[in-house]
Amino acid sequence: MYNSPVRIAIASDHAGFALKEALKRALGPSGERLDDLGTDSDAPVDYPDFAEAVGRRVASGAYDRGILVCGTGIGMAIAANKVPGVRAATVWDEATARLARSHNDANVLALGARDTSPEVALALVRVFLETPFAGGRHQRRVDKVAALDRRKAG
């Protein structure tokens, strides 16, 4: 899909740390540019800080996609979606990962470490990275979401 390596910002809270590290090991040699924005241990931290860091970098265009990992993926997605320009989706199977990209043009993937194995998480990341946005009738809806961001910022 991309002519050059995909630029990915990844981060987790303490509950997602081990899964984030497993994803980094698996993705490292596959050609993506992967930058870890934290956390660096399983010591308790506040997930909104990491969701914002990834969200701001994706929204600015510095990164093509973001990956966030917490216990359920829900908190990270909620926090990341507060950043204008972010469309974060919590996914749990390949169908939701594919639809998040093809219908919603999601640019941040949120995963739940408590119920997602490293093997499943890697499969979800792959689907998320490889699925293009379908555009067409979905573009109008994504444009309306972007308009909500502009109203919120203004």
Q: Is 14 a catalytic residue?
A: no
What residues pair up with 12 in beta bridges, in sequence order? Answer: 69
For residue 111, the SS3 value is: strand
Active-site residue, selected from the candidate residues 14, 103, 126, 138: 103
Q: What is the DSSP string of 49-90?
A: HHHHHHHHHHHHTS-SEEEEEESSSHHHHHHHTTSTT--EEE
CA distance 71 to 69: 7
Active-site residue, selected from the candidate residues 15, 70, 97, 127: 70
Q: Is 140 a catalytic residue?
A: no
- Among all residues, which ones are annotated catalytic? 70, 103
